[in-house]
Amino acid sequence: MSAHVLTGGTKLYISKLRCIVPETESSLEACFAEAGQPWENSPPKWLFAHAGMSTPWPPADPGLLDSTLPAVQIPVFGKHPVEYLCEEGKRRFGADRKFDLICYCHETVQHPLTTLPGLMLCAKFGHRHAQSFVLGQLGSLACIRAIDLCKRMLEYGEGTDGLFCMADRTNYPFSRMSWTGSIKGDAAVLCTVSAEAGDYEVVDCRNLPLFPEGSMRAWTTADYERTMLALARHTEQALREMEAAGNIPDRLVIQNVSDSFVTAVGEAGKRCRIPVYVRQAWREINFLGSDPFVTLQEAITNGQLREGQSVLLLFASADYGIGLLTLRCAGG
């Protein structure tokens, strides 16, 4: 995976950002109780069978059951996330709104097969010439690649505006915890993308790969923690380069991947004199690719960003590296 950076040419704008966090909640204890139950005959089971795996993965640290985490309430989707996106899209845009380009990206594996969400969204909000595509298998960094592709497609004449969607629901036998990482909650994001003016201008959009050594299936908690710190160092190097180029953002939003990652990156932000906004709601939850957007929406609601200011959304995945998305609020 190579880095992708928005360069000259057509600008890209994001508008009408909406984060969907389900009201239905579950507990970590309930998720652990699923272990040992018969597996539904679905894509997650097929992937595990193909890999020769018969237990939930990734593993959680054994000490978690003795901590306060089992009491945490986890937002969970009761049905396929694309159904929530269709419902919310109809409320926000109206049943007659049609887009030229529709993108759906995800980290988790869903049933039905993941090519169908793009077609479902296209049926709701597209027309017969609409371009739809689905992106996955990039961890939480899928949205970075998707935004870059949206810009390129709009630039090369695939219409004037698009619908960008991202959604995840963690299904058993995938675990809601990775070693000592934050609990994975379900969430979705939708917004419009356009080459014309909008709520946020996309200033910078790139993935910086950092691949783990060896098979993650053999990892221990210590391996995971070492990777989190390596990702934090990778992030600080990127922040230093932005500082040297005079491109320091006004705010930094960090995906809540793990306590150690957020703490280490927060300290790096201080050294680079970048104020970090920490989400107040769902502080124990990692909403995967939607997580930085959920925090951004809260920061906007709390008046932490003004017109003309920029915010860096930091995405991270233990198996892929980090993603940087810099947005500038309209008015500057």
Looking at CATH, the fold of the domain delimited by 200-329 is given as Peroxisomal Thiolase; Chain A, domain 1 (3.40.47)
The CA distance from 221 to 60, in Å, is: 8
The CA distance from 25 to 185, in Å, is: 9
Query: Is the pLDDT at 252 greater than 90, yes or no?
Result: yes
Query: Is the pLDDT at 67 greater than 70, yes or no?
Result: no
What percent of the chain lies above the pLDDT cut of 70?
A: 86
Q: What is the mean pLDDT of residues 269-289?
A: 95
| Residues forming beta bridges with residue 206, ordered by sequence position | 324
The CA distance from 153 to 327, in Å, is: 20
Measured in whole angstroms, how far is the alpha carbon of residue 326 from the centre of its chain? 14
- 235 near 317, Cβ under 8 Å? no
The CA distance from 51 to 280, in Å, is: 38
What pLDDT, on a 0 to 100 scale, did the predictor assign at position 284? 93
Phi-psi category of 17—alpha, beta or left, where left has phi over 0 and alpha has psi -120 to 50? Answer: beta
What pLDDT, on a 0 to 100 scale, did the predictor assign at position 131? 79
Q: What are phi and psi of 170, to 5 degrees?
A: -80, 115
Largest CA distance in the chain: 56
DSSP 38: P
Direct distance between the N- and C-terminal alpha carbons of the chain, in angstroms, rounded to an integer: 33
Q: Which of 194, 268, 202 is nearest to 231 (CA)?
A: 268
Judged by average pLDDT, the poorest of 108-117, 135-144, 269-278, 296-305 is 108-117
Query: Is the pLDDT at 260 greater than 50, yes or no?
Result: yes
| Higher per-residue pLDDT: 145 or 37 | 145
